[in-house]
Amino acid sequence: MDNIYDKYHISHIINASGKMTILGGSRLSEEVCEYMKFGANHFFEIKDLLNKTGDYLAQLIGVESAYIVNSASGAIAQSVASCISKGNIQDILHPYNFENKKREIVICKGHNVDYGTPIELTISLGGGKIIEAGYANRCTLEHVQSCINENTAALIYVKSHHCVQKEMPDIQSFIQLAHQNQLPVIIDAAAEEDLLKYYKMDGDIIIYSGTKALEGPTSGLIIGKKAFVEQIKKQSLGIGRVMKIGKENILGLVHAIECYLQHQHSTLEQQIQRLEPFNKKINQINGLSARCVQDEAGRLIIRSEITFLNGNALEIVQKLKEGKTKIYTRDYHANEGKIEIDIRDVTDHELDIIYEKIATIMKG
């Protein structure tokens, strides 16, 4: 096989930022790639394949219904469209017919984030009109209730590190409030790890990225109540057609989920043990301080937080991306002088490279 890096003049990437869409998500196992290869080399009735794999996954995970789409973003747009159209073919084919006023989607203001694209744009693609509840730093159930009226089609809750974490309604109370108003709740759990947590809370539509925690190909997984998932399936006649997923990625995701549910995942203690030698070496570099921190959104992920005491972290982030091997770190707090190293998709050899490059930069 050609050397892809040389052929297209692109850089080798070490992904220490986490399972990020801009870097292609996750490493895929050889097993998942084999399933994708089978899918690529054979033909299926795609509707039948989606229905049968959805039924299989629903039984495997232990939920009422499941469905595979092209991405978590596509899932949000199609879920919004389905809550507005409710299976009506005229509304499916004309999602932007604003004579249908029942299209308002209520979201906490602190959840109206840009995750690579603004979520309000994704909601708008589904024909939704976003209604912000509360304020960026505080949203109560009373704020949410005040936004609900006869034009409300659904509520959406975003579970993400991008969101404001404090002074937001807890998700269980948010779901209960929606149901008290006879409204469905869409839960954007794209990077979350527990496939049953929000379903057990009585969420109606729960959305996961196939290529993040699940370590599958580019794809999205929708689980939830059968009535809502069946409405989402009908979007294949509308906006879902431009968000279609290929047969190879369908089979790849199914096997990735099988592996995900079967395999033991690293505990917090195991992640700390792996990071301790790295942190110890970083702490020996003048002007640096490293420690283990847990994911700020509460996921079971430990990262190395490096504080630059005598340097500009933003400049160092850019220097790490220079050269034939670019190192991407988690940079959400770089303006505060801190970066994080996420090791979930970093080999031990790559972790050594990260240390060496940081040490070289700090030595000037």
Q: Encode pLDDT of 33-76 as tens digits.
A: 999 999 999 999 999 999 999 999 999 999 999 999 999 999 99
Please, what is the average pLDDT of the chain?
95
Q: Supply the pLDDT for residue 61.
A: 98
β-strands 65-69, 302-308 pairing = unpaired
Residues near 114 by beta carbon (within 8 Å), at least 6 away in sequence: 162
Q: Supply the pLDDT for residue 151.
A: 98
* Residue 177 pLDDT class (50, 70, 90 cuts): very high
Residue 341 predicted with pLDDT over 90: yes
Please give the average per-residue pLDDT across 302-328, as a whole number.
91
Tokens of 171: 């998700």
Q: Supply the pLDDT for residue 265.
A: 83
C-alpha 299/C-alpha 197 separation (Å) is 12
CB 126 within 8 A of CB 69: no
Residue 310 predicted with pLDDT over 80: no
CB 245 within 8 A of CB 97: no
Residue 266 predicted with pLDDT over 90: no
Write down all domains in the chain, each with its CATH number in brackets.
4-24+265-362 (3.90.1150.180), 43-262 (3.40.640.10)
Please give the share of the chain, as a percent, with pLDDT higher than 90: 88
Q: Supply the pLDDT for residue 297.
A: 80
Q: Supply the pLDDT for residue 296.
A: 84
Instruction: Please report the sign of the dihedral spanned by the C-alpha atoms of residue 60, residue 63, residue 68, residue 71.
Output: negative
Q: Residue 321: phi, psi to the nearest 5? A: -95, 5
Residues near 191 by beta carbon (within 8 Å), at least 6 away in sequence: 19, 160, 161, 209, 212, 213, 299
Q: Supply the pLDDT for residue 264.
A: 82
The better pLDDT of the pair 311, 91 is held by 91
Q: Supply the pLDDT for residue 142.
A: 98
pTM to 2 decimals? 0.93
CB 106 within 8 A of CB 150: no
* Residue 241 pLDDT class (50, 70, 90 cuts): very high
* Residue 325 pLDDT class (50, 70, 90 cuts): very high
The neighbour count for residue 196, using CB atoms within 10 Å, is 12
Using one digit for the tens of pLDDT, what is the confidence trace for 282-305?
999 999 999 999 998 888 899 999
C-alpha 310/C-alpha 130 separation (Å) is 44
Q: Supply the pLDDT for residue 111.
A: 97
Residue 132 predicted with pLDDT over 80: yes
Residue 222 predicted with pLDDT over 90: yes
Q: Supply the pLDDT for residue 298.
A: 84
